Structure formats: structure tokens, C-alpha cells
Structure 1
Amino acid sequence: MANDSSAVRRRTPEETALSKVPDAAGPVEPEDEKTTASKAAIKKSKPRRPKAKIEDEDDYTPWLDVLRVITFLFFASCGLSYLISSGETFFWGMKESPNYMKLDWWKSKLRGPLYLTPAELAAFDGSDPSKPIYLAINGTIYDVSANARTYGPGGSYQYFAGCDASRAYVTGCFAEDRTPDMRGVEDMYLPLDDPAVDRHWTKAQLNELRAAEREEALRRVYEGLLHWVNFFANNKKYPFVGYVRRPDGWPGTEPVRRLCDVAASQRKPREIPRKETEGA
């Protein structure tokens, strides 16, 4: 027993620790799932080698970024075109560009309104291709160069270019009434005096009727001219230029014009009162 106890001796702490280390050639205990996941995370978090980074940079191409920028600019351009054209187009195909996109419009804003005499205005009738085409209505001048086919030489409204033809807009006599003098235009809306018809009223009644007829005629002339004044004032194609400078005392310095034949032909005799007609 003594020999057996002496053969079995107690291990030192160092030997105990070493006994826990597996032999390189011996079997290795399987790791648990937690340990495996931890090692995989450490492996992934390892910084990439400089050589791998260089290889990735060599593989980079800028064309994808260029395509993104081009796509953004395209859609931005479409949106801006839609806003500026008030929904007319996405591709800048506007029939008429806004005034603020025209150089002449900015020049007119910087220089202020022009004041032209009738003789000076006549030089802008479209006969000189180097000059814009101006027309005036009720003393206000507009640039109608955007519609040169209509207002230029040979156009259907060429008579309005280079002058203030306010009278012609109401009477319809384009060639004869190229003047802003509106005196007597109301006559085109007045009935003709006819003794056979006028006898149905007393003298006092007839005078009162004539006054009412003239007031109505003046209203119709005013509204007829106002329609065209508003047409040019609100038309974005025809920018404002300035005003016509008239001589002092005008139009009293000129004789009253005769009503043109086209306007005069519209006049008819008064209608007999309905009661008188029924009684007859």
C-alpha cells in the first residue's frame, strides 16, 4: 500500500492547467452556437486589406451617377416648363414665350414708355423689316411684331399698323377710318329720320326719344372700342410700347369726319310704336 500511494501523487496546479489544453493531434471538443456566431462577427468586422480597396476603386464607373444626374435634370426641366407655360407644355414648346423671357420686353421696361407722334408712329408700319410693327388704339401703342403675317404688309389687318385707327375698329372701314377721331361714330347706331314714321310722336316725345337714342348709340360705341382696347391690353403676344403724342387742342383742330359708307348703310328708320301698329 505504501508503494501504491507513493506512485499516485497529487498534481501541481501547473499540471492541472496544462491538462485542460487539448493536444494538437487529439480530438477538439465541438464549439457551441454562441461561440461560432461570435467568431463569425469578428471575422466580418475585420478591416479589408488595402489591396481589396484598390481593386474596388478600379472597378468603379461614373456612368451610373451621370445617368442619375441627367434623369434629374430632365424631370426638373419638364416641371419648370409646365409651370412657366401654365400647363401648356412639358418640353418648352410654347406657342408664345412669356414676356419676361423676351429681351425686347426687358428693354422696354428699362427704358420706360415711348411717346411717338403720329408721323413717328407711321415709320413702324412693317414696311421696314429692321423695325418692329407698332399699332395704337385709343392712344396706347403696342408691338404686334409677333403677328407680322396679319399686321404686316399684305396682311388682313395691315391698315392698323403704324397708326391709331380706333375709329376703324368700330365702323369696320379699315382703309377709310385710319384715325383715332371718334366724333360722329355714334351716328351709325342712330335711326334715320322719316317723316312718315316720326309723325307717330309729338315734337316733345320725338326730342326725348332722340336723346335716349343718342345715349344708347354712344354706349354702343364705347363698348365696341373697349372690347378692342382690352383685347390688346390683355394679349401677352403684344407688349405695351408707349403712347401717341397728340398736338394741343386735338381733335378740335380737325374737321369732323363723315360716316363711312359701310357704317352709314347700317342705319334704318325708326320703328313705329307697337300700339300704333296694332291700332292701324
Structure 2
Amino acid sequence: MNPSESRTRFNVLDIVRVFAGILLINALASWWFTSSPTWGYTGKYIDQRYLKHRLFGRQVTLTPQELRLRDGTDTSLPIYIGIGGRVYDVTASRHIYGPKGPYAFFSGRDAARAFVTGCFQKEDEFTHDIRGLDPEEARADIQSWQDYFERSSKYWYVGTVIHEPLTGDPPAPCDHQKYPHY
């Protein structure tokens, strides 16, 4: 190339440089205005565990015993909760779902019945067994909770839990009101 000739094409390296420059300017402006390089966003889309799961992970299929190991007592494992056979990673809220958290009773199990009834006083309510409940109401409530966890900025779907067929009697009804009636 003659020194008097100018370069008139972009190559891949030029595109990478422009993109990196835009990202740097964006991060600096964000830091200036919000003291955060991500404009204050703290959700799952910048969580390294979520990104690793999305890029390299696969959906898990757990037994109830395997799910039970993910209740937060072993800090090297994520915290999972199950709702109607679907499993969600709630590790981002270890202070809520971890061993001393206010919702620790949901961790490491499929507690679909408790999500439907709202009864947290009886240990036998923390089960996937929804027999004895109104089927339509139970399905709607379970779907509502699944939607909540799937749309959450902190939690995400990781797979399923496979349950053995139910035997025996369903849990006795819980003696409380699901929602206050005014």
C-alpha cells in the first residue's frame, strides 16, 4: 500500500474496536450517573452463574433426594426450589431461601401444595401432592408461581424433579384462610 493512499474499508478488528469503545463509553457514563457500570441493573442477565448455565449448562432432572441436597446447607451447591415438578435456582436470595432464611422451608423440595394453600405451619404441606385440593385452583396457583419465578430478574428455571407415584392418603386440610377475606 502506498503511504499516500488511505484505507477505506473496515475489517473485523475495526468493528471490534468500535464496539468496545461504545461499551466503554456506556459503562463510564453509567458509572458517572448511577455508580454502577450496568445502569443500576442487578438481575440475572449479568449473573455469572446464570450466564454459565445458559451458555454451557443443561436442564437438570433430579430425584426428590437430589433436590433435597440443594437446600442451602452445602454452600458449594445452588439453592433450588420445586413447584409442580419444575425446579428453579433461587441462590441469588440465599438470605431468604438459605438455612436461616424466612422461606428456607421451600428450599430443596417441591412444595407445590404449600404454594397453593399458603399453609406453612404443617410439615406435610411441603409436598408436591395436591390431591384433595380444587384441581383448577391448584393448577392456576402453581402456574402463577411458576410464571413468577420464570419472569423474575433473580431466579431461573433449571429443570425438573421426577416424583414417584403418590400412595397413601393426601395431607389433611390445613385449618387457615388462604387469603384474608374482607
TM-score by length of 1: 0.48
SS at match of 1:124: coil
Q: How far off is 1:129 after superposition?
A: 1.8
Structure 1 runs (4+) greater than 4 angstroms displaced: 71-74
Measure how far apart 1:236 and its partner are: 2.5
Q: Which residue of 1 aligns with 2:156?
A: 239
CA deviation after TM superposition for structure 1 residue 72, in Å: 8.0
How far apart are the structure 2 equivalents of 1:171 and 1:76? Answer: 47
- Give the Å deviation of 1:98: 4.0
CA distance in structure 1 between the partners assigned to 2:132 and 2:26 by the alignment: 58
What are the ranges of 5 or more consecutive residues in structure 1 without an aligned counterpart?
A: 1-70, 83-87, 187-217, 267-280
Alignment partner, residue 27 of structure 2: 77
Question: Superposition RMSD on alpha carbons, in Å?
Answer: 2.9
Tell me the residue number matched to 1:221: 138
Matches within 5 A, 1:94-105: 94-99=40-45, 101-105=46-50
2:97–2:107 contact (8 Å) kept in structure 1:
yes
In the superposition, relative to structure 1, how do residues 96 and 256 fare at CA in structure 2: closer, same or farther (>3 Å)? same
Select which of 108, 115, 119 maps to 1:169.
Answer: 115
Tell me, which stretches of 5 or more residues in structure 2 are unaligned? 1-20
Match of 1:183 among 131, 140, 152: 131
| TM-score normalised by the chain length of structure 2 | 0.71
Find the structure with the greater CA-based Rg. Answer: 1
Q: Compute the displacement of 1:219 (Å).
A: 3.3
> Residues 8-47 of structure 1: matches in 2 within 5 Å?
none
Letter in 1 for 2:49: D
- Provide the residue aligned with 1:256 in structure 2: 170
1:89: Cα distance to partner?
Answer: 7.9
Given residue 77 of structure 1, which amino acid in structure 2 is its aligned partner?
A
Residues 237-278 of structure 1: CA deviation (Å, up to 9, x unaligned): 11221110122xx12x342221122259x9xxxxxxxxxxxx
Match of 2:8 in 1: none
Residue 85 of structure 2 is aligned to residue 139 of structure 1: yes
Identity of aligned pairs, percent? 34
Distance 1:262 1:73, change over 3 A: closer
Higher relative contact order structure (alpha carbons within 8 Å, sequence separation ≥ 6): 2
